[in-house]
Structure 1
Amino acid sequence: MLPEKSISVDDRLAQIVSVIFHPILMPVYGLMIIFTAPALYGYLPFQVKKVITFIVIVDNVLLPLILITYFRYRRMISNWTIDDRRERIIPLITTSFFYLFTVYLIYRFHIPIFIKSFIICCAVLAVAVTIINFWYKISLHATGAGALTALVMVLSIRMQAPVALLVIIVILASGLVMSSRLWLKAHTAGEVWSGFMLGSLGSGLCLGLL
């Protein structure tokens, strides 16, 4: 019997970072940033924030996780991280529909347009990476990291929120996420940087123009 391949501490740490900053969690982190930003904190009652967060968690976290579990059970994907580009197609398409449905639900609430713009941004990026994935294995982790980076930058500039420290933290976290994906050899440098550029530019344009 061959000995089991041991996992180094560095590999384990990179895996932990990849789980903590998994792409499906990024919309939740984004809402947490928006809801705690001083410029927007007083706009919404706690109950509304709770309902919006609940919708996003159910539509964009729990449902995708349930589907991934089903796909894994049916052997439609070979592993939980879905490293194969072709295996990511169906999960990405279904996730995009979930995001579009979230946009439909959120637009029924009378909330600041900036929050609606953020949800639209998430949906646009989901559709964009789905289309790109047909030809190129763009990094979803880096796309999410780029989107969060752009979010705090726009909050700082457009909303004039005092989030300078948060900007630094998010930039450092993004670098950590991207380094982790490269360390695990889940992506090439080009796939990681193209994901970050898509997330940051796409999110910046959506939040800056809508």
Structure 2
Amino acid sequence: MINKIAHIFSWVLSPVLIPAYAVFIALWVTTLSMLPAALRWNVVVMVWLITCVLPVLAIYILYKLKVISHPGLNNRKERYIPYVMTTACYIGASWYLHGIHAPHWMWMFMIGGAVAAALSCVVNVWWKISAHGAAMGGLLALLSRIAFYGIAVVDMWPVISLAIILTGILGTSRILLHCHTLMQVVAGVANGFLWVFILT
């Protein structure tokens, strides 16, 4: 039962879903919430297509071609190509957001994610750093920046507190599933938080 719950959290808080969650939150809790709802939903869907659907399709194709042994990318040695593709998709999402004149901090969030993914790819040569942790760390950094910039239209502390709790649950889930050690999860969160916080 515990493993099943851990799997659910691992999928719901997958690194390919976090960018869409982040953009959704940003469009609904900041001054951008004044924009028409239809426009905001279009942006969320586009980001989801670029950062989730494209990488998932690519991973599925690699799995079918037997380039990777499992869609969950549990084998450290099989993570290089997916990491590169994910990094490219983050950059593509940044280019899209920049093109529609999104605020600097929003499209730079994607650049921060791309840098974290690229660094994870390099570290992965020696050590299986947590990509899930990096994604949640990036989300935490974005929420912190929104609060710091004073552009929120809601109290950000409950939102940040919930994100911290979910990060803890996700990290615990990854450890329980024997996907990572505690240090690999902590390093992943630090990696994602650092780059997004610096660049946004």
User: TM exceeds 0.5?
Assistant: yes
Secondary structure of the equivalent of 1:24?
coil
Give the structure 1 partner of residue 147 of structure 2. Answer: 156
1:94-140 deviation line (CA, Å, top 9, x unaligned): 22122222222222112222222222222222222222222321101
Q: Distance in 2 between matches of 1:106 and 1:150?
A: 18
Give the structure 2 partner of residue 94 of structure 1. Answer: 85
1:55-110 deviation line (CA, Å, top 9, x unaligned): 21111111111111111111111112111111011111122122222222222112
Relative to structure 1, the CA distance from residue 90 to residue 114 in structure 2 (aligned partners, 3 Å threshold; closer, same or farther) is same
1:138-187 deviation line (CA, Å, top 9, x unaligned): 10111111111111111112225221110111110000000000111101
Confirm or deny that 1:54 pairs with 2:45. Answer: yes
How does 1:1-150 map onto structure 2 within 5 Å?
9-42=1-34, 44-150=35-141
Bigger Rg, structure 1 or 2: 1
Greater share of residues in helix: 2
Are the counterparts in 1 of residues 94 and 108 from structure 2 also a CA contact under 8 Å? no
Q: Distance in 2 between matches of 1:164 and 1:46?
A: 24
Q: Distance in 1 between matches of 2:124 and 2:143?
A: 27
Amino acid at match of 2:128: K
Determine what percentage of the aligned residue pairs are the same residue: 27
| Runs of 4+ residues deviating >6 angstroms | none
Secondary structure of the equivalent of 1:107?
helix
Please identify, of 70-79 and 170-179, the stretch whose mean Cα deviation from structure 2 is larger: 70-79
- TM-score after normalising by structure 2: 0.92
Give the structure 2 partner of residue 6 of structure 1. Answer: none
Q: CA RMSD in A?
A: 1.6
Q: Distance in 1 between matches of 2:7 and 2:199?
A: 30
Are the counterparts in 1 of residues 113 and 192 from structure 2 also a CA contact under 8 Å? no
Q: Distance in 2 between matches of 1:80 and 1:143?
A: 19
Secondary structure of the equivalent of 2:31?
coil
Please identify, of 181-190 and 109-118, the stretch whose mean Cα deviation from structure 2 is larger: 109-118
Report deviation, 1:46. 3.3
Confirm or deny that 1:199 pairs with 2:192. Answer: yes
Amino acid at match of 1:175: G
For structure 1, the 5+ residue unaligned runs are 1-8
Are the counterparts in 1 of residues 98 and 104 from structure 2 also a CA contact under 8 Å? no
Amino acid at match of 1:168: S
- TM-score after normalising by structure 1: 0.88
